[in-house]
Chain A
Amino acid sequence: AQSVTQPDIHITVSEGASLELRCNYSYGATPYLFWYVQSPGQGLQLLLKYFSGDTLVQGIKGFEAEFKRSQSSFNLRKPSVHWSDAAEYFCAVGASYNTDKLIFGTGTRLQVFP
């Protein structure tokens, strides 16, 4: 069965530092992968997605993610974090071709210190 693992529950970084959030997936075929961000009390906003082509995907707010099939990973990166990036980040995978369903990871909470 498809699954998504986010090994880091909570990450703290200083403003201006680089960031990498980890995501590992289990999927039998070509995965369809997403990163969403959720600010406190808000809905989920799509940062980026990967479904084919270039394995380095650019998203909004200066985020990027790299798909590595050999490592079953889709890690999210940002070269310089801003205080406004503090939020919950969810990695997700599309369940299959014939169902309209996403499978979410458990999330990583990002704290940013000035």
Chain B
Amino acid sequence: DTEVTQTPKHLVMGMTNKKSLKCEQHMGHRAMYWYKQKAKKPPELMFVYSYEKLSINESVPSRFSPECPNSSLLNLHLHALQPEDSALYLCASSPGGGMGALSGNTIHFGEGSWLTVV
């Protein structure tokens, strides 16, 4: 059983719609992530929140808007998406404090939300 819960599992939206993906974890982790994964490709990092502040934005288009209401929740707001944005969106969390060898931290992934833009 995954400890990072994502909803919805599947989402179909039109290019003019506004929708949101939601992610929740109750492991007390202080870093949360959004990744985008296209078929047969590795996950691509989009955003990292560290202690509820946006710490990494990998030059993601503004039609994707992340939000971290509290340390357990992470949202990804979607607006005016394009068909090429169709992908698996993975949420993840880690204890926070870096990913160096001394941290011993592990990133835990959710099952993902399949997004189709029509």
| A44–B90 CB distance below 8 A | yes
Map CB proximity to A onto B30-55 as digits: 1 under 8 Å, 0 otherwise.
Answer: 01010000001111010010100001
Chain A residues near B41: list those with CB within 8 A.
106-107
Min CB distance A94 to B, Å, is 3
Separation of A34 and B48 alpha carbons in the complex (Å): 19
Among the listed stretches A15-23, A70-78, A79-87, A95-103, which one makes contact with chain B, having 4 or more residues with CB under 8 Å of it?
A95-103
Separation of A45 and B50 alpha carbons in the complex (Å): 22
B98 CB–A CB distance under 8 Å: yes
B101 CB–A CB distance under 8 Å: yes
B-side interface size class: 20 to 34
Chain B residues near A25: list those with CB within 8 A.
none
| A32–B43 CB distance below 8 A | no
| A43–B94 CB distance below 8 A | no
| A101–B102 CB distance below 8 A | no
Separation of A98 and B105 alpha carbons in the complex (Å): 12
| B43–A44 CB distance below 8 A | yes
Residues of chain A at the chain B interface (Cβ within 8 Å): 29-32, 34, 36, 41-46, 49, 51-52, 90, 94-102, 104-107, 109
Q: List 26 A-B contacts (CB under 8 A).
A: A41-B114, A42-B111, A43-B4, A43-B109, A43-B110, A43-B112, A44-B43, A46-B106, A51-B102, A51-B103, A94-B100, A94-B105, A96-B100, A97-B99, A97-B101, A99-B56, A99-B98, A100-B48, A100-B50, A100-B97, A100-B99, A100-B105, A101-B45, A102-B45, A102-B99, A109-B40
Additional A-B contacts beyond A30-B101, A94-B100, A101-B48 (6; CB < 8 A): A43-B111, A44-B109, A97-B99, A98-B100, A100-B31, A102-B99
